[in-house]
Structure 1
Amino acid sequence: MNIQTDLKQLSEDYLRIEQAILYLENHYKDQPGLEEVAAQIGLSEYHFQRLFTRWAGVSPKRFLQFLTKEGAKDLLNQSENLLDTTHQVGLSSLGRLHDLFVTAEAVTPGEYKSRGAGLTIRYGIHPTPFGKCLIATTERGICHLGFVQTSAAVPWTSEGDAIDNLVAEWKQARMIEDYKSTAPLIEPIFDLRYNNRGKPLNVHLRGTNFQLKVWEALLQVPAGSVTTYEGIASRIGKPGALRAVGTAIGHNPIAVLIPCHRVIRKAGEFGNYRYGTLRKKALLAREFVTASP
């Protein structure tokens, strides 16, 4: 199987993974067994095991243990020490961050005000292990990444709607649909082991100075770790600006690479996510599994 075939299969698998997470979420007090959960998504227990092994690389039992509130809270406690260390070694400027996996550059003031006048943006829609996504790039990097195949927990967003939203954000830019130019980016973005190899991916950000600071702080949260809204507010020196921080996180234009899904509530609840809480849980659990020994 080639990479495009693999991604298509994983994207299709994700729909069932999400159904399983939703069933467990709705019946957690009953502690349903794997056979019961498998039956709810139309699979035998054997094929349910195979589905998770193919999609997550581990058994469903191991994967699903990361989805509990207690599991998230334990991870949060472990993450705080790591993030403190990251902050102390000076990864605190818009540039090479996120274990040197992502380099970030902001648009010029003129490009910000004009919503992209003079820029050419190429975009494409591709399958990923978490459903379809729309990705867009300028000559200076990835400027948009968002999911278009939505979850059962959020309203449907069509591919056309997603493209319309991209155009609205960059009204004056020249838009070109170019699947071939964006396709090679999908593998490094969604290969959770990619962080330690290859050259960094560039992101090209359009936002206010405050938003850029928040997104920069998000880039310091590595895969397999989480932080809180309070943690992000503290790291940008605005501990009292929780609402503004939450709004900036919600307006993150580049999902996954700028990991807003790694922000949870301090009590261990997963909290909201622009592309659905179920997808947020799936993203985090897959990262936890990959990062675990």
Structure 2
Amino acid sequence: MNISQQRHYETVEKAIVYIRQHLQHQPSLSEIAEHVHLSEFHLQRIFTEWAGISPKRFMQSMTKQRALQVLKTSDTLLEVADNVGLSGTGRLHDLLVSCEAMTPGEAKNLGAELVIKYGCATTPFGTAVIGWTERGICFLQFVDQDVSQTVAILQQQWPLASFHQSDAQPISESVFSGSGNKIHLIVKGTNFQVKVWEALVNSQSGQLLSYAQVAQKIGSPKASRAVGSAVASNTIGFLIPCHRVIRGDGDVGQFRWGSDRKVAIQGWEAARMDANN
């Protein structure tokens, strides 16, 4: 992951915050550029290099009308994918990510004899702490606080595990580069939580789903609130794509790592899906 890409994200994040705050006004490129203290040319270049689309097109993708339209077609997309025996379209990491739940015994022993490597890495969406075992990735959280606090969250999940700091950048490269490498996840949660997370892993890159649609997908149509709790409990960001879940009225909704980052990831995925069409 290029360090400049992370710096670009910091600039783009400021632009996204401004766009969201002034969405009804539909700010011009010059207004956005002035807010982030760049020329129009440099903002256009940095934004397009990071997102793959211009600030104007990104702004269009953020409108509630787009979200509502995507929600209307999501059921159809899921139905088609199910009918052909696929969980998604294969873009980005779809069909290349698999989930394996910890056994009840493994979860109960709180990680005894488990060896977890961890480290900080740059990503297109800022710094992240990543944890992994020989069996796969068990933790990925974006950092907006002291790194040690995020590492402490990982260690609290597995208090009896052995932790070894390591170079997480190659893991980040594999996750975010779209290289086609198979990625395996190790998750710890209730049966219901795991069902929700698996449904999200099996969604399409660039797709948006309401909590109700996820509940219907897992066969529990009245469990929208429980789906929301499961989404909020996710500690493997991006790979378990809880950023694809929005409110039924098209509002972006909450996100463990900030709604502005959620919008950024949604736009980033949508741009890459458009590029592949």
Which TM-score band applies after superposition, normalised by the shorter structure?
Answer: over 0.9
2:265 corresponds to 1:283: yes
| Larger displacement relative to structure 2 (278-287 or 67-76) | 67-76
2:226 aligned partner: 244
How far did 1:13 drift? 1.0
Partner SS, residue 132 of structure 1 = strand
Alignment of 1:42-121 (within 5 A): 42-90=37-85, 99-121=94-116
**What does residue 173 of structure 1 align with?**
161
Give the TM-score normalised by structure 2.
Answer: 0.93
Rounded Cα–Cα distance in structure 1 between residues aligned with 2:225 and 2:70 = 24
Structure 1 unaligned runs (5+)?
A: 93-97, 151-156
Q: Is the 8 A contact 1:128 1:186 kept in 2?
A: yes
Aligned to 1:186: 172
Amino acid at match of 1:190: F
CA distance in 2, matches of 1:29, 1:91: 38
Aligned partner of 1:213 in structure 2 is: 195
Distance 1:282 1:147 in 2: 13
Identity of aligned residues (%): 44
Say if 2:124 is the partner of 1:129.
yes
Q: Is the 8 A contact 1:252 1:258 kept in 2?
A: yes
Query: What CA RMSD, in Å, does the superposition of the two structures yield over aligned residues?
Result: 1.5
Q: Quick one: which amino acid aligns to residue 152 of structure 2?
A: D
CA contact (8 A) 1:123 1:177 kept: yes
**Post-superposition CA distance 1:240-280 (Å, at most 9, x none):** 11111110111112111111100111211111100000000
Please tell me whether residue 28 in structure 1 is matched to residue 42 in structure 2.
no
Q: Does 1:267 align with 2:249?
A: yes
CA distance in 2, matches of 1:137, 1:91: 27
State the partner residue of 1:154.
none
The Cα of 1:288 is off from its aligned counterpart by 0.6
Instruction: Give the number of equivalent residue pairs.
Output: 270
**Is 1:226 the equivalent of 2:221?**
no
Q: Is the 8 A contact 1:141 1:202 kept in 2?
A: yes
SS in 2 for 1:240: coil
Give me the whole-angstrom Cα distance separating, in 2, the residues matched to 1:91 and 1:113: 33
Aligned partners of 1:84 and 1:263: how far apart in 2? 17
Q: Secondary structure at the match of 2:126?
A: coil
- Helix, strand or coil: the match of 1:136? strand
Question: TM-score, normalized by length of structure 1?
Answer: 0.88
Structure 2: any 5+ residue segments left out of the alignment?
88-92
Amino acid at match of 1:280: K
Match of 1:140 in 2: 135
2:17 counterpart SS class = helix
**Deviation digits for residues 136-158 of structure 1, max 9, x if unmatched?**
0011100000100x3xxxxxx21
Amino acid in the other structure paired with 1:133: A
For 2:100, what is the secondary structure of its paired residue? Answer: strand
1:200-227 CA distance string (max 9 Å, x none)? 1010111111111111111111111111
Question: Which residue identity is paired with 1:187?
Answer: E
Equivalents in 2 of 1:25, 1:141: separation in Å? Answer: 36
d(CA) in 2 for partners of 1:127, 1:261: 19
CA contact (8 A) 1:218 1:259 kept: yes
8 A contact 2:209–2:245 mirrored in 1? yes
* Match of residue 152 from structure 2: 164
1:89 positional shift: 4.0
Equivalent residues of 1:215, 1:249 under 8 A apart: yes
| SS at structure 1 position matched to 2:106 | helix
